[in-house]
């Protein structure tokens, strides 16, 4: 069994798991669009610096970039637009439940478009990991409902965007290297969210206030972590994993982020620990293991 793709998928889940803690702290001072603009601008500039120093190689000559641009539009642009809207209009448990469905949608789309048909055992363990997430986000008390249809539809849009991203990245991996996909994603995200922030500044009319926000530790530390680790590191790891193993195997690792976010909250934010955290985490771990252990071994 190839170890590197699974290690990459696991590492991306760990990085994404800690990102919630940094995001939570920064959003006390900046808007979601401002944080996304800072995040992807830093990521794009750092990757450009890596390219200028010849630490990474990029070659887009003679290849069709339409697919890559579509990938970059779906993730990060569509995904974060839908997720931000959905989270703002729904409850935390609804958002957590919907995002947990990403591996299910990836499996369905993978079977439809990539012909990566999961085994029955694999389907069971994918669902088991989803149950684990539901156990944690419900808090042992059940799912609270917001009744906001637009919010739920936005979350569904985020789930579909994440699933389409996995399928596109898997498909494009035959033509482009993971670092090339990641480079285009970072620049596309930077240009889009920078434009969104410029519109915000134009309406408010206080451009200097935006720069002053970077002086706060919660903001600059989040920008550093989200830009370097969550954007460049995690997305590169995800693109690499998708180039090596089936989309459904990679997607189920996303549920591990729930465990990491709980651990980060307990360890660094003083949040309480309950038995349902342990039970849900165990279900997720077993689900991730089973999905990858019982999947078909494709070339």
pLDDT tens by residue, 234-275: 999 999 999 999 999 999 998 999 899 989 988 888 888 888
* Mean pLDDT of the region 107-136: 92
Supply the pTM of this predicted model: 0.92
The band of 222, judged by pLDDT with boundaries at 50, 70 and 90, is very high
Residue 10 half-sphere exposure, CB side, CA atoms within 13 Å?
A: 10
Pinpoint the alpha helices (H) of 27-56.
Answer: 32-52
User: Following CA atoms 25, 21, 168, 86 in sequence, which dihedral angle do they give, to the nearest 10 degrees?
Assistant: -60
Tokens of 77: 């642009």
Residue-level pLDDT at 273: 87
Dist. CA 213–CA 206, nearest whole Å: 12
Whose CA is closest to 86, among 189, 20, 159, 171?
A: 159
Lowest mean pLDDT among 92-106, 108-122, 142-156: 142-156
Quote the tokens at residue 28: 């006390």
What is the pLDDT at residue 56? 96
Other CB atoms within 10 Å distance of the CB of residue 123? 17
- Residue 75, C-beta contacts closer than 8 angstroms, at least 6 positions apart: 161, 162, 165, 185, 235
pLDDT reported for residue 144: 61
Burial (0-12, 13-18, 19+ Cβ within 10 Å), 127: middle
Residue 251, φ and ψ in degrees, nearest 5: -65, -35
Mean residue pLDDT of the chain comes to 90
pLDDT band at 62 (very low <50, low <70, confident <90, very high): confident
Q: Does residue 298 surpass a pLDDT of 80?
A: no
What is the b/e burial string over 268-291, where b = at least 16 CB atoms within 10 angstroms of the residue's CB? eeeeeeeeebeebbebbbebbebb
Does pLDDT of 15 surpass 90? yes
Eight-state DSSP code of residue 73: I
* Chain segment 150-209, per-residue pLDDT in tens: 988 999 999 999 999 999 999 999 999 999 999 999 999 999 999 999 988 887 766 666
| 8 Å CB contact between 22 and 221 | yes
Percent of the chain whose pLDDT exceeds 90: 67
């Amino acid at each position: 069994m190839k170890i590197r793709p699974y290690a990459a998928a696991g590492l991306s889940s760990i990085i994404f798991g800690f990102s919630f803690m940094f995001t939570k702290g920064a959003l006390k001072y900046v808007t979601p669009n401002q944080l996304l603009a800072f995040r992807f601008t830093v990521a794009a500039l750092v990757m450009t610096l890596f390219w200028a120093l010849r630490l990474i190689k990029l070659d887009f000559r003679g290849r069709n970039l339409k697919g890559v641009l579509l990938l970059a539009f779906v993730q990060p642009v569509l995904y974060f637009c839908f997720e931000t809207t959905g989270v703002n209009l729904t409850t935390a448990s609804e958002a957590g439940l919907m995002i947990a469905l990403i591996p299910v949608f990836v499996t369905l789309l993978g079977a439809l478009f990539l012909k990566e048909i999961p085994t029955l055992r694999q389907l069971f363990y994918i669902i088991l990991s989803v149950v684990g997430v539901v156990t944690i986000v419900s808090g042992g008390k059940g799912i609270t409902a917001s009744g906001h249809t637009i919010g739920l539809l936005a979350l569904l849009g985020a789930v579909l965007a994440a699933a389409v991203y996995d399928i596109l990245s898997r498909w494009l991996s035959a033509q482009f290297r993971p670092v090339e996909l990641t480079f285009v994603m970072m620049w596309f995200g930077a240009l889009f969210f920078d434009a969104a922030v410029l519109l915000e500044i134009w309406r408010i009319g206080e451009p200097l206030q935006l720069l002053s926000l970077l002086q706060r530790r919660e903001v600059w530390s989040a920008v550093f972590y989200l830009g370097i680790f969550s954007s460049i590191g995690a997305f590169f790891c995800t693109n690499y994993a998708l180039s090596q193993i089936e989309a459904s195997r990679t997607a189920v690792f996303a549920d591990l982020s729930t465990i990491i976010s709980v651990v980060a909250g307990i360890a660094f934010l003083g949040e309480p620990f309950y038995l349902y955290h342990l039970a849900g985490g165990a279900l997720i771990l077993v689900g991730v293991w089973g999905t990858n252990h019982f999947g078909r071994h494709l070339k």
